[in-house]
Amino acid sequence: MSSAGEFKRDASYISDRITRDGRRPEHGPVDGELWPVAPGRYRLVAAKACPWATRAIIVRQLLGLEDVISLGTPGPVHDERSWTFELDPGGVDPVLGIERIQQAYFKRFPDYPRGITVPAIVDVPSGGVVTNDFPWITHDFFFEWRDHHRADAPDLWPADLREEMEEVMQRVYTEVNNGVYRCGFASSQEAYDAAYDRLWTALDWLEDRLATRRYLMGDALTEADVRLWTTLARFDAVYHGHFKCNRQKLTEMPHLWSYARELYAVPAFGDNTDFEQIKTHYYVVHQTVNPTQIVPKGPDPTVWLEPHGRG
């Protein structure tokens, strides 16, 4: 939090990457260790309540990596230490044998100094965390795990659109994905007002963009859509009220709303969107925002099943 009351996200993550044969990756920095792609070796730990983690779950399914990278799903709440596996029998992850993801972090870094976050990829043989750098996790699922994609996997990073897509994703991240948090966690009126204006400027830009195209980058689904989706899915249920992003609901923005419903109809998106877990996480964990921890009953999730009318 800045001195002016503006929310500042800690963007320091474990920079290790999993690459084909453990060699230099096709794109991006090499600031940490390189690990080799190996089917069955790694476990993705990702809570469906968390928007950053849900990205990785969706991309894993879109690419057909379910039998290659296993999935552990913590429950919707966490304490000051970390996310826990309360949804699993006995509260223990059945593959890693741990009660909280913190144990995998400490297995490799006993004095790990930063936040214990999801998504995280864990090396199953050692039980230690490999990386929690969420943008690179999904990027590398596409580029580095290509040999294990299913035959009809979508091209989430089309070469001819990549430069523009990077710009779109950066704006989506700073102004929308993180923008709702700047609104919700602002601790001064001035910081909130500025965050609110920035968020709605970006949402109006997206509404206009989707008036003339099916997906963010054109006619085909890309990583950019995955990154925007997790915020849209949480907007009316959480961000509109809980984070005071209340100029309009998603359901009141016709192009964004029909686009979001079309994505929800895709199994990788809809199957991994759990509105009860989402609401429980935000309304219970954020006690400074919602000190009563009361979880609202609405909105009605069946509206997501209405025809999107987009062909």
Give the residue numbers annotated as catalytic, written as ranges.
50, 181
Q: Is the pLDDT of residue 171 over 60?
A: yes
Which pTM was predicted? Answer: 0.97
- Looking at the structure, tell me whether residues 120 and 165 fall in a common domain: no
Q: Interior CA angle at 136 toward 163 and 182, to 5°?
A: 85
In a domain, 310, yes or no: no
Q: Do 108 and 227 fall within a single domain?
A: no
Residue 179 sits in the same domain as residue 292: yes
Q: Write down the mean pLDDT value for the chain.
A: 96
- 125 in the same domain as 168: no
CA-CA distance, 92 to 86, in Å (whole number)? 7
Per-residue pLDDT of 227-271, as tens digits, reads 999 999 999 999 999 999 999 999 999 999 999 999 999 999 999
Number of domains, the chain: 2
List, for residues 183-218, the tens digit of each pLDDT value: 999 999 999 999 999 999 999 999 999 999 999 999
**CA atoms of 309 and 262, how far apart (whole Å):** 8
- In the chain, what percentage of residues exceed pLDDT 70? 99
When pLDDT is averaged across residues 144-170 and rounded to a whole number, the result is 98
Indicate which CATH number applies to the domain containing 196.
1.20.1050.10
Residues 164 and 134 in one domain: no
pLDDT confidence of 55, banded at 50, 70, 90? Answer: very high
| Residue 9 located in a structural domain | no
Strands 42-45 and 128-131, by their bridges, are: unpaired
Judge if 172 and 139 occupy the same domain.
Answer: no
User: Are residues 63 and 189 located together in one domain of the fold?
Assistant: no
Provide the terminal-to-terminal Cα distance of the chain, rounded to the nearest Å.
44
Bridge partners of 17, per DSSP, are: 34
If asked whether residues 229 and 93 sit together in one domain, one would say no
Q: For residue 57, give its domain range.
A: 17-148
* Domain boundary, last residue among 91, 117, 148: 148
Look at residue 102 and tell me whether its pLDDT is greater than 70: yes
Domain limit, last residue, from 102, 125, 148: 148
For residue 309, the SS3 value is coil
